[in-house]
């Protein structure tokens, strides 16, 4: 059941991205930015958790989940350590993802070359 | 006449050479090119080095096919798409040739030939080498995205070809003759979409072709072939429309190098683009057909988009340019 | 003024001439590939929890993201991810794997300009805005949350 919801919701989110690409011709950087913002806003209004409850990976794997973690981290840290949390919480919550992306990119840039299409 | 010049001494293209990448070699013109590389890196470490090596081979090939040596070349006119036209300049350095760098984006082949023809015609230089080229992978990383980025190409986009072409001009020797040149104005109809170069450049081609017919009193049927550079499928269609509005009807003797550069299956959307597209088709296909006298008189009108990534990011529209040269089979 | 009118008319004319591609196949592809990537994420998450039953949900999920990011980065390196992207469009851009691809691809592409000015500087040409916008907006949300909490 988790798989089905993950597939349907995840697919739907990605398809919305594709609709944006086709209709507005925006580049992948703008797509990613848009979806991160959607995640931040969903979390800010505390709408992300209810969706995540049943969509699981379907909403967490899309970059929306990254945005939601940023906002969730900031909000959680504000709750525990006050205003400073607004600055420390976001990156703390997403450090794993960012560090992994940077680390593996660096590693593989040493090994691989880009190939002509 | 004011934009069109006539060359009374009829400078000849006495040597020519074309070299292309593997994908380009698999296209419809494949068998006409002098050399098809087995892979795009051409045994080099970077794509920039590969582009230069390709450029150098085109230069060497053209000089050899003219029956000359590099020391007999009096001037090299060349340009390319990389910032500060490094492929041309570095090649000129390696051959130790007197050199004028010329930037006309993808119209460079016509621009170098037109300028070269004037110098040869005027008797200032004996043998002039004209060359240009482009490489898909260097253009992608300079103008667009990393090769490995997973994005989709839009339907109006074109594929920068990996190709180079070079010609040697002289009054001595045998070969097709350059008889006229029409220098074009920079024309901008306000297209800002960098993925729609054809639409940005078509007005420049229309302007130059219209001026050419107007100033020479000729009509499209006076030519066996009227060929633009890299307008692509969409740009070529627009050009036909624009000229029709001005009262000039292009017939079946009109075609576009970029549009016919690849087959449908090669999935290049609107076709090929880049300096190398018109340069390789001219030096690979058109000159050979002229030599065989299967074509007698050709109007060669490549177009260029005079934009930069900075200007585009600042939202400026894309100016186009186009120069026309008339090449005739010559002889009887 | 006359020129602006001409340009407007030309842009309208070009817009009408642009070949219309069928949207449905690309929407369908983005749907099932995007869905599949999420399913793979779900599978990895469940596998981790199955292998390490005492791990917290949160830690397991962090590991899942690391694995997905690793896979995307590797597929980028061997030249497969861009082919998936060409086929799926949004389907492989929107997931976290697309974020990974957008960091790995320039890192690999610009290695020839050196480790510092090539790999390290260009690594963020596409993903930089994502991190900046994400961090800035999370700060804003945090501050608003703090202000709301005062009352």
Spatial CB neighbours of B314, under 8 Å, sequence gap ≥ 6: none
> pLDDT digit string (tens) for A68-95?
999 999 999 999 999 999 999 999 999 9
Average model confidence (pLDDT) across chain B: 96
- Selecting from A75, A96, A110 the residue whose C-beta is nearest the C-beta of C141 gives A75
CA distance B44 to chain C (A): 12
* pLDDT at C65 > cutoff 90: yes
| pLDDT surpasses 60 at B332 | no
Residues of A in contact with C89 (CB under 8 A): 17-18, 21
Residue B137: closest CA among A117, C111, C77: A117
> Kind and range of the H or E element at B134?
strand B127-134
Tokens of C143: 């501050």
Instruction: Tell which CATH classification among 1.20.120.80, 3.30.420.10, 3.50.50.60, 3.40.47.40 matches the domain B4-170.
Output: 3.40.47.40
pTM given for the model: 0.94
* Residue extents of the structural domains in chain C: 29-126
User: How far apart, in whole angstroms, are the C-alpha atoms of residue B19 and residue B57?
Assistant: 8
The pLDDT of residue A27 is 86
For residue range C84-137, list pLDDT tens digits in order.
Answer: 999 999 999 999 999 999 999 999 999 999 999 999 999 999 999 999 999 999
CB-nearest to C141 from A71, A108, A115 is A71
C121 interface with B at CB cutoff 8 Å: no
Residues of chain A with pLDDT under 50: none
Distant-in-sequence, close-in-space partners of B238: CB < 8 Å, separation ≥ 6: B198, B199, B202, B231, C13, C14, C17
Instruction: Render pLDDT for B88-140 as a digit per residue (tens, 0 to 9).
Output: 999 999 999 999 999 999 999 999 999 999 999 999 999 999 999 999 999 99
Predicted local distance difference test score (pLDDT) of residue A117: 73
User: Measured between CB atoms, which of A33, A65, A74 is closest to C139?
Assistant: A74
Looking at the complex, report in whole angstroms how far the Cα of residue A50 sits from the nearest Cα belonging to chain B.
31
Residues B195-216: what's their mean pLDDT? 97
Specify the CATH class of B177-328 in words.
Answer: alpha beta
CA C119 to chain centre: 19
- Alpha-helical (H) ranges within chain A are 2-24, 28-44, 48-55, 57-60, 64-81, 85-111
Cβ B36 vs Cβ B30: under 8 Å = yes
Share of chain B residues as helix, strand and coil, in percent rounded to the nearest 5: 40, 20, 40
Number of other CB atoms surrounding residue A36 within 10 Å: 29
> Which residues in chain C touch residue B135, judged by CB atoms under 8 angstroms apart?
none
* β-pair type (B75-80, B12-20): unpaired
Lowest mean pLDDT, pick from B179-183, B223-227, C21-25, C72-76: C21-25
Q: Where are the domains of chain B?
A: 4-170, 177-328
Which chain B residue shows the shortest CA-CA distance from C78? B148
Look at A116 and B152 and tell me if their CB atoms are within 8 Å: no
The answer to whether the beta carbons of residues B148 and C109 sit under 8 Å apart is yes
Task: Please determine, for residue B321, whether its predicted confidence score (pLDDT) is greater than 60.
Answer: yes
Give me the pLDDT at residue C67, please. 97
Chain position carrying tokens 């090929």? B272
Determine the residue of chain C that is closest to B199 in CA distance: C14
Q: What is the mean pLDDT of residues C19-40?
A: 93
- Report percent pLDDT > 70 for chain B: 99
> For residue B1, what pLDDT is reported?
63
pLDDT for res A116: 81
CB-based contact, B316 to chain A, within 8 Å: no
Spatial CB neighbours of C85, under 8 Å, sequence gap ≥ 6: B149, B150, B151, B152, C92, C93, C98, C101
Residue B316 CB-density burial (10 A; 0-12 exposed, 13-18 middle, 19+ buried)? middle
In the numeric block, the tokens 């892979």 are attached to: B39
The predicted-structure confidence for B277-294, as pLDDT tens digits, reads as follows: 999 999 999 999 999 999
Calpha distance B16→B286 (Å, rounded): 11
pLDDT tens digit sequence for B159-178:
999 999 999 999 999 999 99
Buried b (16+ CB within 10 A) or exposed e, A70-89: bbbbbbbbbeeeeeebbbbb
Phi first, then psi, for residue B304 (nearest 5°) are -135, 150
Per DSSP, C55 falls in state S
Is the ipTM value over 0.85, yes or no?
yes
Are the beta carbons of A8 and C73 separated by less than 8 Å?
Answer: no
Predicted confidence (pLDDT) at residue C1 exceeds the cutoff of 80 = no
pLDDT of res. C20: 80
Q: Are B137 and A21 in contact (CB < 8 Å)? A: no
Longest dimension (CA), chain B: 55
CA distance A50 to chain C (A): 16
Of C36, C76, C149, the CB nearest to A108: C76
In tens, the pLDDT along C6-28 reads 999 999 999 999 988 788 999 99
Q: Is B156 on the interface with C (CB under 8 A)?
A: yes
């Amino acid at each position: 059941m988790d798989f089905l919801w993950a597939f349907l919701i995840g697919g739907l989110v990605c398809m919305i991205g594709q609709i944006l690409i086709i209709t507005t011709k925006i580049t992948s950087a703008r797509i990613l930015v848009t979806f991160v913002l959607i995640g931040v806003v969903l979390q800010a209004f505390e709408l992300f958790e209810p969706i995540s409850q049943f969509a699981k990976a379907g909403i967490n794997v899309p970059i929306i989940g990254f945005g939601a973690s940023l906002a969730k981290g900031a909000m959680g840290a504000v709750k525990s350590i006050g205003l400073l949390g607004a600055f420390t919480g976001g990156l703390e919550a997403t450090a794993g993802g960012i560090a992994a992306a940077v680390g593996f990119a660096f590693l593989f840039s040493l090994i691989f070359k880009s190939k002509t299409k | 006449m004011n934009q069109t010049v006539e060359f009374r001494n009829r400078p000849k293209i006495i040597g020519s050479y074309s070299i292309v990448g593997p994908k380009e070699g698999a296209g419809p013109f494949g068998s006409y090119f002098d050399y098809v590389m087995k892979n795009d890196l051409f045994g080099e470490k970077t794509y920039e080095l590969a582009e230069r090596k390709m450029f150098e081979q085109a230069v060497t090939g053209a000089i050899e096919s003219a029956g000359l040596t590099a020391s007999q070349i009096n001037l090299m006119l060349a340009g390319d798409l990389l910032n500060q036209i490094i492929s041309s300049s570095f090649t000129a350095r390696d051959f130790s040739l007197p050199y004028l760098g010329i930037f006309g984006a993808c119209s460079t082949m016509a621009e170098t030939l037109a300028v070269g023809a004037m110098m040869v015609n005027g008797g200032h230089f004996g043998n002039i080498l004209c060359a240009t080229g482009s490489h898909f992978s260097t253009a992608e990383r300079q103008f667009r995205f990393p090769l490995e980025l997973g994005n989709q190409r839009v339907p109006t986009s074109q594929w920068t070809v990996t190709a180079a072409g070079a010609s040697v001009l002289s009054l001595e020797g045998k070969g097709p003759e350059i008889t006229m040149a029409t220098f074009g104005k920079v024309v901008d109809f306000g297209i800002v979409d960098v993925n729609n170069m054809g639409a940005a450049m078509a007005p420049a081609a229309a302007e130059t072709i219209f001026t050419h017919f107007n100033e020479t009193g000729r009509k499209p049927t006076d030519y066996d072939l009227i060929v633009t550079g890299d307008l692509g499928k969409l740009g070529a269609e627009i050009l036909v429309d624009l000229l029709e509005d001005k009262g000039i009807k292009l017939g079946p003797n009109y075609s576009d190098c970029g549009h016919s550069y690849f087959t449908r299956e090669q999935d290049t959307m609107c076709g090929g683009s880049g300096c190398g597209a018109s340069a390789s088709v001219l030096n690979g296909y058109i000159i050979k057909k002229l030599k065989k006298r299967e074509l007698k008189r050709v109007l060669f009108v490549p177009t260029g988009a005079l934009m930069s990534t900075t200007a585009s990011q600042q939202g400026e529209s894309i100016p186009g340019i186009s120069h026309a040269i008339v090449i005739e089979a010559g002889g009887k | 003024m006359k020129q602006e009118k001409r340009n407007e008319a030309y842009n309208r004319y070009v817009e009408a001439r642009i070949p219309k591609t069928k949207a449905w196949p690309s929407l369908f592809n983005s749907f099932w590939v995007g869905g599949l990537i999420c399913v793979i994420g779900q599978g990895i998450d469940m596998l981790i929890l199955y292998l390490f039953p005492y791990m917290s949900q949160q830690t397991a999920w962090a590991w899942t993201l690391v694995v997905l990011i690793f896979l995307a980065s590797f597929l980028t390196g061997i030249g497969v991810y861009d082919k998936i992207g060409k086929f799926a469009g949004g389907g492989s851009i929107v997931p976290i794997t697309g974020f990974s691809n957008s960091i790995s691809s320039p890192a690999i592409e610009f290695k020839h300009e050196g480790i510092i000015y090539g790999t390290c500087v260009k690594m963020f040409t596409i993903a930089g805005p994502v991190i900046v916008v994400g961090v800035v907006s999370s700060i804003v949300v945090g501050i608003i949350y703090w202000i709301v909490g005062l009352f």
